[in-house]
Structure 1
Amino acid sequence: MTTLRDDSELIWSNLKTLQDDYHDYNLPVIPALPAPTALDFSKHVVRGLPVVYDIYAGTEGSTTAGRPWRACSWTADDLQGKVKDVVEVALTPHGNADALVDLQLDDVCAAGKDEDRVFVQPASQMMKISDLLHELTPRPGDDEEVGALVRYLQSQNSNLDTPEFSILRKDLPDNFDFAAAVLGEPDARNIWIGNHRSVTSVHRDPYENLYLVLRGSKTFRLWAPVDEVSMPTRMVKTGRYVHRQGPEGDAFDVVLDDDTDAIPWVDLDPLSPDFVDPGSMRSVTVMQGQMLYLPSGWYHHVSQECGQWDDGCPAPCIAVNYWYDMDYEGERYVMRQLLGRLVAAARGQLGGSQTIACK
């Protein structure tokens, strides 16, 4: 007679074989291809593999003639002239919005709490776009690391459809021709403006994502949905940063959310010196003028670097992305749900460990 532990070991063995088989058949390389036709793009969506498209010439010295939308040639003056209202900007001490924070090691205050790792959302500040661009732009002779305050425009609430930013929609397409016939209309459109101090922690989204870099570059570290098998996921409490002016300048508290359930979050930092790859990480840097197609369900971590305006002056990293609802028909979604249930069942039978991974 088999025990629950015997059953769970059998499940883990088969899940690990599934993970290995997937990576045997799919190389850990993300291709860079010309802008696709609708037919080409449909093939990439069916495969569910990330790909980078060269949308326009974004290299230094290129002319604006070949750039398909006005946004591709934005200047600081353009943005400052168009966005008249103040905008909401995320504030964190280390550029770690929507991420796990170690309250025992981090220089934040959470008095009276015995939690160690907490999922923390950013504080926010309303500011003019001109002030944001000034704060984010590298300046010769400045020490960018001074001060415990990192700003990032990352509201991700379809902010290009909000009153503050809607004027920018005129400089961008409502959709992309090659995507419209395959994915339909986007559910959300966002603009992101930051510098190298902000990173996005490992997570996944239920959206098909088209991510276009307008200035600077974005580096994506990716794991396939099948790597859920070995992702170090843990249940954590949630909270938020509160920004205050301390005796020595900017400081942050962490306020834990009351009466909320713990949430699952991946406890993994690929930039840490102790990083161990739990699957088969793919890494790609998306340059100005390039677009990443990121399929739904892929785990991703994002870092960024500043770029230049067309006149050669330093510019922050600027990008826009379009989210499309994933397709729930067919077998992909239900198979991923099955994978998640099997992973959860095996973890529970092996003692309920929150960070257990296949060996």
Structure 2
Amino acid sequence: MEELEALWEEVRELSLGTSTHIERLDLPPSPVEFLRNFVTPNKPCIICNAMEHWPALSLWPSDDYLCQALGSTEVSVHLTPNGRADSLVPHPTDPSSLCFASAHVQRMPFPDAFHLISDPDKNENLVAYAQQQNDCFRTEYGALASDCEAHIDWATEALGYLPEAVNLWIGNNLSETAFHKDHYENLYAVVNGEKHFLLLPPTDVHRLYICPYPAAQYSYCQDTGNFSLNLEDPVRYVPWCSINPYLPQGRDKTEMDEFPLFFNGPKPFECTVKAGEILYL
């Protein structure tokens, strides 16, 4: 175990340094600098002053602009009772175990979706999050395409290909993404508000305790305002990270004992990405 812990530290120090904070660049890097200093060593960074020419930065903070630009366009909204879509929750028939719960996805005109997201206090036990994937910006939100660059040139040149998918996510302070791992390069641009991240390097994947969990789906009843959670039939298992880095009150000791590689190992890297900044990971 001591040898393994020493290897963690050596790998982290070699590629990421000893700090638990993410490096910030005051200006966009050249393609060569980006490839050499960040892409090749799998090193995240925050790039400032890379989006100043995007019309979105000045236009999107206006609720009226977004609602007028998209009009009655229907978008996909993910509804959950707690803001945690695609995450582990108590099993619906065996609360002592967990299942992987996906959000109830509802299509609605953008103005309705936006007001549902931006005023969560009006809807008790309902959190809305526009977090559709699969290239939703270029499909559902196509009317906003001219407000952003089609791609980020220095990143495209460094990576050698255009974006496979471009997504737009709109949430509130209750929107939360569970610990997970991605299989591709990400450029996460914040246009309005801010997003807080906890990050682990690829060499720490064993510390996530990825296990198969039965898949379940939330269903939301508009008449009663209640959610139900049902297992998929036939049963399907989803490999997912068992770690909740924010320990619920009363479960601290149990979870720390159950997942010692995570809670006794190096801390995740933390960063907050603000409007006008891009996180590479």
- TM-score, with normalisation over the residues of structure 1? 0.67
Task: Render the CA deviation track for 1:178-221: whole Å, top value 9, x for unaligned.
Answer: 11211120100000001011100000111100001001000000
Give the counterpart letter for 1:286 in structure 2: V
Residues 141-160 of structure 1 aligned to structure 2 (within 5 Å): 144=121, 147-160=124-137
Contact (CA 8 Å) 1:50, 1:292: kept in 2 or not? yes
2:53 to 68, 81, 106: 68
1:23 to partner: Cα distance: 2.8
Partner in structure 2 of residue 89 of structure 1: 77
Report the residue type matching 1:128 in the other structure: P
Q: 2:145 & 2:121 partners in 1: Cα distance?
A: 31
Structure 2 counterpart of 1:42, one-letter code: L
Of the candidates 9, 14, 19, which is equivalent to residue 8 of structure 2?
Answer: 19
Which protein is richer in strand relative to its size? Answer: 1
CA contact (8 A) 1:223 1:279 kept: no
Instruction: Please tell me whether residue 236 in structure 1 is matched to residue 230 in structure 2.
Output: no
Deviations 1:222-250 (A, max 9, x none): 1111112322322211111011247xx42
TM-score, normalization: structure 2? Answer: 0.85
Tell me the CA shift for residue 56 of structure 1: 5.2
Alignment partner of 2:134: what SS?
Answer: coil
Q: Is 1:255 matched with 2:230? A: yes
Question: How much does 1:290 deviate?
Answer: 0.6
Percent identity over the alignment is 31
Matched, 1:291 2:278: yes
Q: Is 1:29 aligned with 2:21? A: yes
Query: Please, which of 220, 223, 239 is the counterpart of residue 200 of structure 2?
Result: 223
Q: Is the 8 A contact 1:230 1:279 kept in 2?
A: no
| Structure 2 CA distance for partners of 1:290 and 1:72, relative to 1, 3 Å | same
Instruction: Please tell me the residue identity of whatever aligns with 2:67.
Output: Q
Moved more, 166-175 or 197-206: 166-175
- 1:52 paired to 2:46: yes
Unaligned 5+ segments in structure 1 are 1-11, 58-66, 104-109, 295-359
Aligned-pair Cα RMSD in Å = 2.2
Return closer, same or farther for 1:244/1:113 CA change in 2, 3 Å cut-off.
farther
1:1-359 alignment to 2 at 5 Å? 15-25=4-14, 26-27=17-18, 28-34=20-26, 35-43=28-36, 44-55=38-49, 67-74=52-59, 75-84=62-71, 85-103=73-91, 110=92, 116-137=97-118, 144=121, 147-162=124-139, 164-183=140-159, 184-245=161-222, 249-273=224-248, 274=252, 277=263, 278-294=265-281
SS at match of 2:84: coil
Change (3 A) 1:272 1:146: farther
Cα distance in structure 2, aligned partners of 1:234 and 1:56: 38
**CA distance in 1 between partners of 2:114 and 2:236 (Å):** 37
C-alpha distance 261-146 of structure 1, shift in aligned 2 (>3 A) = closer
Q: Would the aligned equivalents of 1:23 and 1:280 in 2 still touch at CA under 8 Å?
A: no
- How far apart are the structure 1 equivalents of 2:166 and 2:181? 17
Q: Distance in 2 between matches of 1:132 and 1:261?
A: 30
Match in the other structure for 1:329? none
One-letter code of the match for 2:156? A
2-structure distance, mates of 1:218, 1:17: 32
Partner SS, residue 190 of structure 2: strand
Check the 8 A contact 2:50/2:278 in 1, yes or no. no
- Segments of structure 2 that go 5 or more residues without pairing to the other structure are 257-262
How many pairs does the alignment contain?
260
Q: C-alpha displacement at 1:114, in angstroms? A: 7.4
Structure 1 residues 279 and 92: alpha-carbon distance in aligned structure 2, compared to 1, 3 A threshold = same
Spell out, residue by residue over 1:294-349, the C-alpha distance to the aligned partner (whole angstroms, 9 max, x if none). Answer: 1xxxxxxxxxxxxxxxxxxxxxxxxxxxxxxxxxxxxxxxxxxxxxxxxxxxxxxx
- Structure 2: how far apart are the matches of 1:144 and 1:86? 23
